[in-house]
A = this chain, B = another copy of it.
Amino acid sequence: MVHALTSAYICIAMDMTRRDIHNSEIPALCRSCEVRHKGMCGALTPDELTQLSRHTRQVAQAVGEELVGESTDVAAYDNVMRGVVKLSKTLEDGRQQIVGLQFAPDLVGRLYATESPITAEAASDVELCRVPKAMLERLLEQNPALRKRLMDQSLRELDEARDWMVTLGRKTASEKVASLLLLIATHLEPDARDDRRVFDLPMSRLDIADYLGLTIETVSRQLSKLKSAGIITITANRHIDVPSLARLRARCG
């Protein structure tokens, strides 16, 4: 609980560096930090926040814009404030695999590496808080709480990557699609009370296919099957209604 105030603080501090105090997005940003306070923000002292805010930049990127390219030098880390970032890798011949999604308040960027092993791209319109690489790494030395948070994020990402390996290697197409819907539903609305979820897919059919190791046609067919089985309803291609998460989960293998 002690973090709630601190989290609100950083958001304002970060925001004020670049935006007018009356900017309509401020409350939203603060709320998102406040509500979750799982992000790195929550691990910082007011002093560190003020210091950080001087080097930090609020960045908005539109769908499809690249944050960092594979095998490219990285100068900064991006803290996701709003939206979804997709991480992918590409084979020489163009085959692509999405290897992770990052939601607020994750930090995007391979710690300590000078060269990014993956591509990071805005999967939806995103707002980021960009921290210079050296700056964050220095902070990391000084602040054990921050260190622990980022360590925890890395370990959680490793757990998720391994979970996904099971999905990629051992599940059928229909289980894969169900698994992705479940993943997105639980990440986008982590604290809904009941068993229903309504959300917009933050990605195209191609992205879904690339995440699941399938083709867009197979994805489309499996979505249609889930639809006719009454597990989901789809409107406007992206808008998904899951009346019962439990029934969806039962299809995940």
Interface on A for B, CB 8 Å cutoff? Answer: 87, 89, 91-93, 95-97, 99-100, 110-113, 117-118, 141, 144, 147, 151-152, 154-155, 157-159, 161-166, 168-171, 212-213, 253
Interface contact A169-B111, CB-CB below 8 Å: no
The residue in chain B whose Cβ has the minimal distance to the Cβ of A141 is B144
Complex: A218 Cα to B90 Cα, angstroms: 25
Cross-interface CB contact of A170 among B147, B162, B213, B253, cutoff 8 Å: B213
Complex: A37 Cα to B155 Cα, angstroms: 23
Contacts of A166 in B (CB 8 A): 89, 91, 95, 97, 99
Complex: A112 Cα to B141 Cα, angstroms: 20
Cross-interface CB contact of A158 among B89, B141, B158, B163, cutoff 8 Å: B158
What 6 A-B pairs have minimum CB-CB distances, sorted nearest first? A169-B213, A161-B161, A168-B168, A99-B162, A97-B166, A95-B170
Cross-interface CB contact of A159 among B92, B93, B117, cutoff 8 Å: B117
Q: In the complex where A110-B155, A161-B161 touch, is A169 in contact with B253 (Cβ < 8 A)?
A: no
Complex: A171 Cα to B212 Cα, angstroms: 13
Distance in Å: Cβ of A196 to nearest Cβ of chain B? 24
The residue in chain B whose Cβ has the minimal distance to the Cβ of A144 is B141
The residue in chain B whose Cβ has the minimal distance to the Cβ of A140 is B151
Contacts of A169 in B (CB 8 A): 97, 168, 212-213
Complex: A171 Cα to B92 Cα, angstroms: 12
Distance in Å: Cβ of A22 to nearest Cβ of chain B? 41
Complex: A224 Cα to B207 Cα, angstroms: 35
Contacts of A157 in B (CB 8 A): 158
Contacts of A212 in B (CB 8 A): 169
